[in-house]
């Protein structure tokens, strides 16, 4: 859980709006929104007050994992994104190869079925991964 998701979760558990938390912290509701979306973090000096307002210890609040600067992707997210792109690229490449080779009359039935099968398999895996992410 990131710091932002932890702040949002604790705020909701206490029945507070972003505006109410912002008022108690002496910041704007936009600042709270940025915290919760992991676009920024609370100032280190305000962490004890935030912990008090959210009724948790400073240690509990600081156990949240920080996202990379600027809310960027984690290494795992980058790998997942690249794998998805590669699967889609293979599917398209196989389709294009079959079309080009067919036009040039340089392809046999075995090669066509192999290329289309590989392309369809990659497209299927890509769609399966997308469905899995949406669950």
Domain boundaries, the chain: 3-71, 75-134
61 near 51, Cβ under 8 Å? yes
**Using CA atoms, how far apart are residues 90 and 98, in angstroms rounded to an integer?**
12
pLDDT tens for residues 89-119? 999 999 999 999 999 999 899 999 999 999 9
Residue partners of 85: CB distance under 8 A and separation at least 6:
none
Average pLDDT, stretch 36-43? 90
Arithmetic mean of pLDDT over the chain: 88
List all residues 6 or more positions away from 67 whose beta carbon is below 8 Å from its beta carbon.
Answer: 2, 3, 4, 38, 74
Tell me the mean pLDDT in the region 21-46.
Answer: 93
Q: Which CATH class is domain 3-71?
A: mainly alpha
Give the residue carrying structure tokens 């040039």.
104
Q: What is the pLDDT of residues 44-73, one digit of tens each?
A: 999 999 999 999 999 888 887 655 544 556
């Amino acid at each position: 859980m990131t710091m932002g998701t932890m702040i949002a979760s604790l705020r909701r558990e206490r029945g507070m709006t972003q505006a109410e938390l912002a008022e108690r912290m002496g910041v704007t509701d936009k600042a709270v929104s940025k915290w919760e979306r992991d676009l920024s973090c609370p100032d280190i000096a305000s962490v004890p007050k935030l912990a008090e307002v959210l009724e948790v210890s400073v240690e509990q609040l600081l156990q949240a994992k920080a996202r990379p600067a600027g809310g960027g992707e984690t290494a795992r997210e980058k790998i997942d994104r690249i794998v998805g792109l590669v699967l889609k690229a293979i599917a398209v490449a196989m389709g294009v190869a079959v079309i080009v080779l067919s036009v040039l009359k340089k392809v046999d039935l075995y090669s066509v079925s192999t290329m289309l099968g590989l392309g369809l398999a990659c497209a299927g895996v890509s769609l399966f991964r997308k469905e899995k992410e949406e669950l």
